[in-house]
Chain A
Amino acid sequence: MTSKNKRGVAAAVVGTLIASTAILGISAQQAQAAAAPSAAAIAKALNTPTNLTFWSWLPGQQNEVNLFEATYPKIKVKLVNVGSGGTEYNKIKAGIAAKSGLPDVAQIEFQYVPTFKVLGGLANIAPYVPANFLSQFPAWISAQVTDSQHGIYAVPQDSGPMGLLYRSDVFAKNNLTPPKTWADFAKDAAIIHAADPTEYISNLVMDSGNMNGLYWQAGARPFHMNSSTSINIHLNDAATKTVSKFWGDLYAAGNVPADPYWTSDWNAAFDKGKYVSWPAAAWGLATVSAAAADTSGNWRAAALPQWGTGAPVSGNWGGSTSAVMATSKNVIAAATLAAFVNTNPTAAFALTQAPTFDFPVTNSVLGSAGFKATAPAFYGSQKVYQAYGAYNATVGKNYEWSPFQDEVYTLWTNDVLAAILAKGDTGAGVDKWQADTVAYAKKQGYTVTTK
């Protein structure tokens, strides 16, 4: 190669490297704290032609988006389903690291709000919504989207108060009524499986979110942020160990099978009558009716079995919010969109109907006659939403999520679920869960207390 060519090649390589580092965007973006804009400024922003992107996997979300666009004709919303749950969250985490590629608003479940807040991904929309915005939700709901500085980081969309969905025909066949206590549940499990080996009172609770809701019901309060850099972790309390041992014993006795959730096998099991009940969240009403068409009319809802004899207590599993991303260039419009699709009376009611069947979080919808009267044929015309509304009122208070809930659930699968499936010492499994989580939190730089 001649020296002229060598120089040319060198220039090309260097140029490519410079270009590519620029493309990779190693530029810092400073987040500007916004002072609360005036009402006039907000109105002006909502009257400016704007394009918003909204990531949501909620079936039927387009209905609420259409209502929004009709009310604010200058704002166009592109609704995209990029995948549910973890699939969408991975894209958001990648977008936060790359500081680009994020939508204006995204659907984020309650348990991940602290995760994305700590990564700096969520915008504080308190300046853009009315002053008493959070008062329209039950206190335990609004507590999950705010902080000690009264910022608002997400708009609650639906929640997952837990109850027991059960086959009234199979219970009647066995001369049983829905169990009032977990001790009754264990007794009924033995009776049902002995009477018919193809039937089980329920599947083993193999889903981390499902089990976490049961820990919540039993009184577990594993996380508390002492400060932004210090966290209290107490996963191995008595309540968690009791619940884990309960299900470990059921599985060891052979009275519940261990079928992984969310597979075609699991759906078929509901349909074929393998599971006679399911301690499920309100959105489970839609899951069962979709999976088990052959058993229509035979399911009912009851309160979760109780541990104690006092006032009934429930737990929560899931529930989503609409959160505005910190990188949004149209925060006012985005905040209005997030608030509208979840709290505008028409939109909020639409969320509870087909095809979404969300359990509402606004006090007005929770209390409305139309909502309480819903009586699906699949559930034998029982007023299931009214039932779940009652359980909703008993969900245990003061539950706090960790800022790394993903990892907590992964460790639960590897430590606690593995112990249950090995028919081993569940207490040791829970202790290992605690130890691994504490080690992880320290590795992430947190100071850890374990009261």
Chain B
Amino acid sequence: MHNFLLLFKETEMVTMRKSGIDNTKRTGLFFVLPFFILFVILLIVPLVYSGYISLYNKGLVGGNRYVGFQNYSTMFHDPQWLASIAHVAIYFVIQVPVMLLVAVFVALAIDSGKLRFPKFFRIAVFIPYAVPAIIGTVIWAYFYGTNYGFLNQLLGYIHIHHVNFLGSPMSAIGSISALATWEFAGYNMIILYAALQGLSTELYEAAAVDGAGSIRTAMRIKLPQLYPAIFLTLIFSIIGSFQLFVEPLQFNILNPTVVNNYFTPNVYAYTSAFQGNQLNYAATISFSLGLVIAIVATIATLIGSRKGEKLI
């Protein structure tokens, strides 16, 4: 038996030496191919097509004409596009830090071991992410109702009436930020919590011996090691917040002149395409937005890796 196994192993090793390395690479290729095919079809081809049609203009009359970069020129001078970019920039600056703070705090709290029923809290904080965005916005649209909405009913008890949560662009951004934090804090919390599970516990024991409480341990030991994971969630948040779409689209009905058809770049692209029959302009907005997000995310990654941290 023993001799047979040895013989088997020797044969195996001989075969591997000849074509083993090619075999491994070919196997790897086959594993990646399904994803790669879908990636090209669903992402690369539409992206290239979008860039292609942004160079044309097709009206209801007159057919398809090549216009070069005229659509881009129009866009950069379009006050509505500029307003949409301003809205998502402000939204990014307000919503992302708040949401990440919440996610970090909750992840550290659950990991501290001081919380009763940690599993329940983990699930409870994550559930809003599992709720489809459309349903979430319908629920929050009821919350935000100016006259009979849930929040105004609560405020009525302290004699504050008819607060219009979407009455101006800034309040609309704030209200959407609250909704987005509710939606996504759980998702980011899970990422951070998973990262925390990967940390070695030796340092915690050493800290406990030195007399550090759970808060000190969280701030001085866990948090610094969490920076790579926080950075990852920041990248996701950059990509997500510039693409803000579902929430303003659903809230349009609550205040059509404020949360209007050009409230964010993606809403503007969508309404230009479907209501305005301007598919080329919509492609221009989408393509340039994708480019901007890619550049910002790349810069952020480079800054992060320059700091010497080993990241993704």
Contact = CB atoms under 8 A, between A and B. Distances in A.
Interface string A198-224: 000000001000000000000000000
Given A16-B37, A265-B148, A265-B149, A417 B275 contact: no
Contact of B257 (A17, A97, A417): A417
A413 B147 contact: no
A206 B256 CA distance: 9
Contacts of B59: 443-446
Nearest to A259: B147
Contacts of A418: 257
A31 interface: no
A130 interface: no
A404 interface: yes
A20 B255 contact: no
A20 to B, nearest CB: 4
B40 A13 contact: yes
Interface in B120-173: 141-142, 145-149
Interface string B207-235: 00000000000000000000000000000
Contact of A445 (B62, B142, B261, B271): B62
Given A20-B45, A263-B141, A410 B276 contact: yes
A418 B260 CA distance: 11
Interface string A79-102: 000000010011001100100000
B60 A17 contact: no
B253 A262 contact: yes
Given A2-B22, A229-B61, A265-B145, A97 B279 contact: yes
Interface stretch (B25-33, B99-107, B180-188): B25-33
B4 interface: no
Interface of A is mostly: helix
Contact of A410 (B142, B261, B279): B261
Given A90-B274, A97-B279, A264 B61 contact: no
A382 B233 CA distance: 62
Nearest to B42: A20
A17 B257 CA distance: 43
Given A20-B45, A260-B255, A9 B29 contact: yes
Contacts of B25: 1, 5
B298 interface: no
State which size class the interface on A falls in: 35 or more
B142 A264 contact: yes
Interface in A1-39: 1-2, 5, 8-9, 12-13, 16-17, 19-21, 23-24
Given A16-B37, A16-B41, A97-B279, A421 B257 contact: yes
Contact of A264 (B22, B145, B257, B274): B145
Among A260, A268, A274, residue most surrounded by chain B Cβ atoms (within 10 Å): A260
A410 B275 contact: yes
A159 to B, nearest CB: 24
A5 B45 contact: no
Given A264-B141, A269-B147, A86 B275 contact: yes
B269 interface: no
Interface in B256-272: 256-257, 260-261, 271
Contact of B60 (A259, A403, A414, A417): A403
A444 B145 CA distance: 38
6 contacts: A13-B40, A16-B40, A17-B45, A20-B41, A86-B274, A413-B257
The 7 A-B pairs with the shortest beta carbon distances in the complex, nearest first, are A445-B61, A445-B59, A445-B62, A444-B59, A406-B275, A265-B145, A20-B41
